[in-house]
Structure 1
Amino acid sequence: MEMEEADSLRRVAMAFDLAARAHEGQRRGAGRREPFISHVADVARRVAQSPALDEETLLAALLHDVVEKTDHDMAEVERLFGSEVASVVAELTDDRSLPSREQKHRQIEEAPRFSDRAKRIKLADKASKLASIAAKPPGWWGRPKARREVEQARKVAAGLRGLDPVLEQAFDEEARRADEALS
């Protein structure tokens, strides 16, 4: 193995380790037993299917929720993984000081202006969410809330299209599965 390849693998392992430690004890969705890190790993796995995969995109996929959902900050991400990765993570980080409805509206509005890397990760993130809804929506949601979440994911994905047919097709498949599960 060449040194550059080994360095890349080390950085991926470091990003996964940081995400695993940062999200330790977190569960995906209210009332679920699934560790949150499984979502992070699923998003990274989905992004890895893209023919345009590069190291920075994979690193940002692993770290996409670290700043938004933990006490880690963007300065730490930049110090450990560089400005390119931090920039993508920043694009994907919702402003938690805003009400949920405003965050969702901003996701729809901002998605078309995302960088290519952020678009790929957001498509994988939304596909992962839909897969989770199809498998078992959180019990407290009920079908109407779950359907609204599917529609929200579709609206965000609409602004991400035209870049990565592989990830778009995977998103569409998960949306179809979620629709079937909720019908």
Structure 2
Amino acid sequence: MSLLSNPSTLSQLLETAHFAALAHGQQRRKSPSQPAYIQHPLHVASLLAAPESSLHPHPPVEILQAAILHDTVEDTDVTEEDLRRVFGPVVTRIVLECSDDKALSKEARKQAQIDSAPHKSDEAKHVKLADKLSNLRDLMSSEGRPSGWSVKRIQEYFVWSKRVTDSCIHVNPGIGAQLDEIYRQGTFEVEGKTYKCHPDYQ
């Protein structure tokens, strides 16, 4: 049964998208056109539901909801209690697994993602993989990447992302294959010059 053929599931997803859109309402992405932030979590969910994902054609609704909500606790005023009240314990647990501890420094948060990735639930690993795939695709495009990022910073993000996703790709070989192609062959352009996304991976 497809998501669209199940009115209850469709209603859940639309309600989740509306909740996330309100939570992220004033936030913009850092790329040159500064699109509404909500496009990112919606893209993460769409990647998990897409034919290339190993969850297709029956992605669990809780994983899609968590994907849509994955940045709410970390980056908005939404609390764990808010999520638990509206979406229940399963979705809340997945979102919390995907949320950085903002009390840590930026470098500590990045290391924590590497260290914690192998120990996350499979549901959280699905969201983490799609989140990274969405961000990496943005970085490959001058329209999608944050303004002012140097070549070094872009490549460091790809190298770091691979360290995070290496311990997750087994749960979703479809998304894992897309990530591996980017790490192996992906390129991006800066000021007319082309660079490898991951400079050391063959």
TM-score, structure 1 normalization:
0.91
Contact 2:54 2:173 in 1 (8 A): no
- 1:48 and 1:138 mapped to 2: Cα distance? 26
Residue 166 of structure 1 aligns with an amino acid whose one-letter code is: G
Secondary structure at the counterpart of residue 6 of structure 2: helix
Matches within 5 A, 1:41-80: 41-49=42-50, 50-52=53-55, 53-80=59-86
Matches within 5 A, 1:99-178: 99-136=105-142, 137-176=145-184, 178=186
Secondary structure at the counterpart of residue 82 of structure 1: helix
Shift of 1:178: 4.6
Q: 2:17 matched to which residue of 1? A: 16
Contact 1:131 1:177 in 2 (8 A): no
- 1:132 and 1:151 mapped to 2: Cα distance? 15
Tell me the alpha carbon deviations over residues 27-55 of structure 1, each in whole angstroms, 9 at most, x when there is no partner.
12365512211111110111113333201
Secondary structure at the counterpart of residue 93 of structure 1: coil
Residue 158 of structure 2 aligns with an amino acid whose one-letter code is: V
**Unaligned stretches of 5+ residues in structure 2:** 196-202
Contact 1:16 1:62 in 2 (8 A): yes
Between 22-31 and 5-14, the greater mean CA deviation after superposition: 22-31
Contact 2:16 2:65 in 1 (8 A): yes
Large movers: runs of 4+ above 4 Å: none
Shift of 1:8: 1.4
Residue 54 of structure 2 aligns with an amino acid whose one-letter code is: P
Residue 44 of structure 2 aligns with an amino acid whose one-letter code is: V
Tell me the alpha carbon deviations over residues 112-142 of structure 1, each in whole angstroms, 9 at most, x when there is no partner.
1111111011000000010000012323221
Contact 2:94 2:123 in 1 (8 A): yes
- 1:14 and 1:143 mapped to 2: Cα distance? 39
Instruction: Say whether residues 1:39 and 2:40 are aligned partners.
Output: yes
TM-score, structure 2 normalization:
0.83
Q: 2:199 matched to which residue of 1? A: none
Between 171-180 and 131-140, the greater mean CA deviation after superposition: 171-180
Contact 1:150 1:178 in 2 (8 A): no
Shift of 1:75: 1.0
Secondary structure at the counterpart of residue 30 of structure 2: coil
**Unaligned stretches of 5+ residues in structure 1:** none
- 2:27 and 2:48 mapped to 1: Cα distance? 22
Structure 1's 176 and 41: CA in aligned 2 closer, same or farther, altered over 3 A? farther
- 1:151 and 1:130 mapped to 2: Cα distance? 11
Residue 161 of structure 1 aligns with an amino acid whose one-letter code is: I
Shift of 1:179: 3.4
